């Protein structure tokens, strides 16, 4: 088994030219921060690069240390412009419609971005490399555990499990996943597929949809806390959760290891929770933190029981998900370094401060 320290990983990227697509999103912005600290030359590409966008990358010290480029991954011309004349060493492709509900509402747009965005990028890189004779950059595709569909009685999914994404989001990501592997087999493109689970942590500004930041927004709302939302079709859901720092580490590890090219990796989770139990733990953690500042409000937070909302019929929900991360541990030594409890404490503390400044 290969093992690597964080300093080893940073050393792998020092001076490297690295492109991150979807850079202003939750995972992308944290990845950019890690790469900047590793002294990589970072190009941060996204469709929305406005300075007033809620994103970790818009921290003044971080934005000024990356090359910010606006790109629409659903547009061949935009992707061609992105890669032409920019010789990258490593590319992390994270640009996606990442909200299941939005993908169900706008399926064509989701497919164009989640599937064809990856195809556009691979094809433009292939053609550019073919014309110039330059070495092709390693491309790491951030995929998802949703490509497996439901566990159907199995304890977990490994990389050999059947791919059976159920909804529009799942199927679009599955197609990109398959195309990344196909370009490796057909053209020897140095692509890596990494399948992440539910990632959580500070600076996830998708507080309307993602379960943990949405719950914390409601708990820290003014004047009084509101109960977290749970959709009726999610009462029996079970999901893996991984802290953001560990997700970034996993991405960096596979991107730096040539032996990972052409391979697919599941990423081990810090824990696996049923959604109602997860939300109850979020409530308890928020209340414990609030007790340091306001005993009365902490009591109100504890009194919040889950609110069950009607399910969205357009969203085909996977009931149970759980990844076997043995392969990535064997190849890179990766295993989560941050426990769920540690990660949740950091996350709750961040959002309490964030929302207290907003209200």
pLDDT band of residue 132 (cuts 50, 70, 90) is: confident
Tell whether 356 is covered by a domain: no
Tell whether 23 is covered by a domain: yes
Cα dihedral 62, 67, 72, 73 in deg (nearest 10): -90
CA separation for the pair 169, 164 (Å, rounded): 12
Nearest one of 266, 247, 109 to 192, comparing CA atoms? 266
Long-range contacts of 48-52 (CB under 8 A, 24+ apart): 48/24, 49/24
Domain count, the chain: 1
Q: What CATH code is carried by the domain that includes residue 33?
A: 3.40.50.720
pLDDT in tens, 256-275: 999 999 999 999 999 999 99
pLDDT at 1 > cutoff 60: no
pLDDT in tens, 339-352: 999 999 999 999 99
The CA-based angle 194-200-203, given to 5 degrees, is 110
pLDDT at 9 > cutoff 90: no
CA separation for the pair 58, 203 (Å, rounded): 11
pLDDT band of residue 14 (cuts 50, 70, 90) is: very high
pLDDT at 322 > cutoff 80: yes
> What's the pLDDT at 230?
83
Q: Looking at residues 127-133, what average pLDDT do you find?
A: 77
pLDDT band of residue 12 (cuts 50, 70, 90) is: very high
Tell whether 227 is covered by a domain: no
Tell whether 353 is covered by a domain: no
pLDDT in tens, 26-40: 999 999 999 999 999
CA separation for the pair 134, 125 (Å, rounded): 10
> What's the pLDDT at 102?
82
CA separation for the pair 288, 302 (Å, rounded): 9
Q: Are 256 and 340 a contacting pair, CB within 8 Å?
A: no
**pLDDT higher at 350 or 221:** 350
First to last CA, the chain: 49
**What residue numbers bound the domain in which 130 lies?**
6-201+241-272+319-338
Tell whether 175 is covered by a domain: yes
**What is the chain's Cα-based Rg?**
20
pLDDT in tens, 39-59: 999 999 999 999 999 999 998
Tell whether 307 is covered by a domain: no
Q: Looking at residues 241-260, what average pLDDT do you find?
A: 98
Tell whether 286 is covered by a domain: no
> How much of the chain exceeds pLDDT 90, in percent?
78
Q: Looking at residues 244-252, what average pLDDT do you find?
A: 98
Residues 6+ apart with CB under 8 A from 5: none
User: b/e map of 70-93 (b: 16 or more CB within 10 Å)?
Assistant: ebbbbbeebbbbbbeeeebbbbbb
Mean pLDDT computed over every residue of the chain: 92
pLDDT in tens, 73-111: 999 999 999 999 889 999 999 999 877 778 888 999 999
Q: Looking at residues 122-143, what average pLDDT do you find?
A: 89
Tell whether 284 is covered by a domain: no
């Amino acid at each position: 088994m290969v093992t690597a320290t964080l300093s080893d990983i940073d050393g792998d990227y020092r001076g490297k030219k690295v492109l991150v697509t979807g850079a202003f999103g939750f995972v992308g912005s944290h990845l950019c921060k890690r790469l900047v600290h590793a002294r990589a030359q970072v190009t941060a590409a996204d469709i929305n690069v406005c300075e007033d966008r809620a994103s970790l990358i818009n921290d003044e010290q971080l934005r000024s240390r990356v090359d910010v480029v606006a790109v629409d991954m659903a547009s061949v011309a935009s992707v061609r412009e992105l890669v032409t004349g920019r010789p990258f060493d490593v590319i992390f492709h994270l640009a996606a419609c990442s909200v299941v509900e939005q993908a169900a509402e706008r399926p064509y747009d989701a497919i164009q971005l989640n599937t064809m965005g990856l195809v556009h990028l691979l094809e433009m890189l292939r053609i550019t490399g073919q014309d110039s004779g330059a070495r092709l950059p390693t491309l790491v595709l951030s995929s998802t555990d949703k490509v497996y569909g439901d566990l159907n009685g199995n304890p977990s999914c490994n990389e050999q499990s059947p791919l059976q994404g159920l909804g529009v989001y799942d199927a679009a990501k599955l197609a990109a996943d398959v195309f990344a592997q196909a370009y490796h087999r057909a053209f020897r493109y140095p692509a890596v597929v990494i399948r992440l689970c539910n990632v959580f942590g500070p600076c996830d500004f998708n507080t309307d949809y993602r379960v943990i930041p949405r719950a914390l927004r409601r708990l820290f709302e003014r004047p009084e806390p509101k109960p977290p939302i749970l959709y009726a079709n999610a009462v029996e859901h079970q999901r893996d959760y991984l802290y953001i720092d560990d997700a970034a580490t996993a991405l960096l590890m596979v991107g730096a290891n040539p032996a990972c090219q052409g391979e697919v990796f599941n990423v081990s989770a810090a824990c696996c929770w049923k959604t109602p139990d997860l939300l109850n733990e979020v409530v308890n953690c928020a209340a414990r933190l609030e007790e340091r500042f306001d005993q009365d409000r902490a009591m109100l937070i504890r009194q919040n029981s889950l609110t069950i909302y009607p399910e969205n019929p357009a969203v085909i929900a996977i009931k149970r998900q759980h990844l076997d991360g043995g392969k990535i541990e064997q190849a890179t030594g990766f295993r989560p370094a941050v426990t769920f409890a540690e990660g949740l404490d950091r996350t709750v503390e961040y959002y309490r401060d964030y929302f207290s400044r907003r209200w």
